[in-house]
Amino acid sequence: MTIKIYKGGLTKNIYIIMVNVLYLTLIPFKLILFVILLIIGIFLLKNTNGDGNIKNLVIIFFKIIVQFLLSYDIDISIEDYNKYMRYLYSDEKFICVFNHISALDGFLLLSTFPKMGIVLNKQKCFDYIGYDDDANNKTGSIFVNVYKKSNVTNKIKETIYNRERGKSVLFISPTYALPDTEDNISKFIKKGAFVSKSKILPIIIKYEDYSIIYNCEHENVLEGIFKLFLFENYKIKIAVGDMIDPDENESIEEYKERVYDIMNEQYKEM
């Protein structure tokens, strides 16, 4: 009896090892497929006319990437999703502020919220996949060129106050860094989201843990990219907070700190 249990356990262990090895060997192919899908999606985006078609294309494309190819489970309540949709189709002039700690954040947001654009740094790698100004403008996003002054603050303000009902909502993050502890979101460093003293709709992202996050001190960029494909059914929570109104009597710095405190408290409650 003892020998049979041992053999069964050994067979099971061998099976598990073989499955893991097979899964790891598939990662380069998943990465290649990911890049191919990204290039195809951007090509279709640039050659699609009509706001409704673009909205559907972006959502479907990024859902395929995040939920199937990368195998992440996005958890957002119906109430929070409907809250975003109500503001999207309202006359409110506002901006969405989110906590940003991973390169995955943009994919998560684009696969969750329709008709959204992002304020993002213009990277050299965008040239290789065809993501240029045309594609960026179609999503309602704003490029930030860190090497060239481009008056981004005014662009953000104009985008907020010129937005019509049902048109793209601008998303921006005041930071991109790991917080000191997993119990808090990262401190807000940049002020672009607060200079115009606009209304803010908080978008809070909470990862299951920080094992998925790229750590520049202990791994190179390639390792960080490969790591994104290792996880199965990794849960990520997204919450939409209540609209935050600016106070005329507070400074930009005070507004930034108040928004941080509100979002950080909501993060802890998730």
Model confidence at 37, in pLDDT bands (50, 70, 90)? Answer: confident
Helices (H) and strands (E) in the chain, counts: 9, 7
Q: What is the DSSP letter of 214?
A: -
Say whether pLDDT at 6 is over 50.
Answer: no
Residue 28 — pLDDT band, cuts 50, 70, 90?
confident
Helix (H, G, I), strand (E, B) or coil at 48: coil
Give the mean model confidence (pLDDT) for residues 151-157.
Answer: 88
pLDDT > 70 in the chain, percent: 79
Rounded to 10 degrees, the C-alpha dihedral 20/24/30/35 comes to 150
0.85 surpassed by pTM? no
Which string of DSSP letters, residue by residue, matches 135-191? HHHHTT-EEE-TTS---HHHHHHHHHHHPPTTSPEEEE-S--S--SSTTSPPPP---
User: Looking at residues 68-77, what average pLDDT do you find?
Assistant: 82
The answer to whether residue 50 scores a pLDDT higher than 70 is no
| For residue 110, pLDDT beyond 50 | yes
What is the domain range of residue 72? 2-269
pLDDT recorded at residue 77: 96
Q: Position of tokens 């003293």?
A: 197
Whole-number Å distance between alpha carbons of 165 and 90: 5
> Which tokens in the block code for residue 41?
């999606």
For the residues 55-72, what does the mean pLDDT come to?
68
Mean pLDDT of 172-176: 88
Average pLDDT taken over every residue of the chain: 82
Q: What is the mean pLDDT of residues 53-59?
A: 62
67, pLDDT greater than 80: no
How far from 250 is each of 195, 230, 247, CA to CA, in Å?
A: 12, 46, 6
- Give the mean model confidence (pLDDT) for residues 219-238: 77
Sheet holding 199-207, edge to edge: 72-75, 234-240, 199-207, 94-98, 169-172, 116-121, 142-144
**How many domains, the chain?**
1
Give me the mean pLDDT over the 120-129 stretch. Answer: 84
The top-scoring range by mean pLDDT among 27-36, 83-92, 223-232 is 83-92
Report residue 162: phi and psi, to 5°.
-100, 0
Beta carbons of 143 and 133 less than 8 angstroms apart: yes
